[in-house]
Amino acid sequence: MLKRAVVLAGILMLVSAGAVSAADKRLIVGGTLASVREAPWAVALTNSQSSRPTGRWCGAVLVAPDKVLTAAHCMLKPVSTYTAVQGRAELSDDSTGRVSGISKVWIHPGYNTKNNRNDFAILTLAQPFTQVPVITLETNPKADRKGAVPTVYGWGDTADTGPDDTLQKVAVPDLGDDACLANKEYVANGYAAASNVCAGNGTGDACQGDSGGPLVLNGRLLATVSWGKGCADPAFPGVYAEIASAAKALRAQI
C-alpha cells in the first residue's frame, strides 16, 4: 500500500521525494496543468533533505494566513528542514511565489501508523502568507458521496503524463466508501467510512509527492491526499483523509 509518502504498516504513503528507502513519493497522474491563480491556497512543502533538486516533499493547503494543513506522515524530518512554498507553479522557478519556514508542527493526536486515520498535521508559518485566499474546510460529512467529482492538486509524480514538480490537477470521481471497503487490503490497512474518502477510477490519481495536498469539491476542502496502492490503478482508488470527521480538532488549531 502506498501512503503517498512513507512505508508504514505495509502501506506506502505519498510523501515526496525524500530518500527512496524512507518514502514512496506521489504526484498527479493523468492530470492537466493548474494555475496558481485558480488554486492560490495550494502549497508545496519542500525539504532540504529531499533527493530532488527542487526539494519537493509533500503537498499542503493554506487554511489560515499563518497555517497550512498537510499529512501527518509527511512530517518525518526536523522542523527546520521544511519550507512552505505558495504561488509557484514550477518548483524549479524560484523567481516566483512566496516561501516561509515552519515554526511549529501539530500532529493530530488520533493519528497512528496502524490504521492510518487522522492523517493530519497543521504547520505554523514563520512568515504568514498574507493577502492570499485560504480554503474553507468542509464540515458536512454528506459531502463525501458517490457521484461527486472533486479535484485533487499537487506537484507529485506524473508517471510521464506531465512535467514533474509542476502544479497539476485532476478530477477524481468519488466512488463512495463501499468501493474501498470491498478491498480487503484497504480494510486491513485501516480504511474507514467515517475517516476517509475513496476516489479515482483509474483515469487519474494523486501519486508520490502529493501527500497532504488538497482534494477540493465546490470550493471547499473535502479531504487531503493520504494513501493508496499504485497510482491510477482502477483496482486501487486513492484514499484521502476526510476533513469533516476531524473538522473540530483542526479548527481548534487554526
Q: How many CB atoms lie within 10 A of CB 146?
A: 13
Q: Is 211 a catalytic residue?
A: yes
Q: How many CB atoms lie within 10 A of CB 218?
A: 10
C-alpha cell at 8: 508504514
Q: Is 226 a catalytic residue?
A: no
Give the active site residue among 24, 66, 73, 226: 73
Q: Is 108 a catalytic residue?
A: no
Give the active site residue among 119, 144, 174, 210: 119
* Cβ atoms 251, 29 nearer than 8 A: no
Counting every residue written for the chain, the total comes to 254
Give the active site residue among 16, 100, 195, 211: 211
Catalytic residues: 73, 119, 211
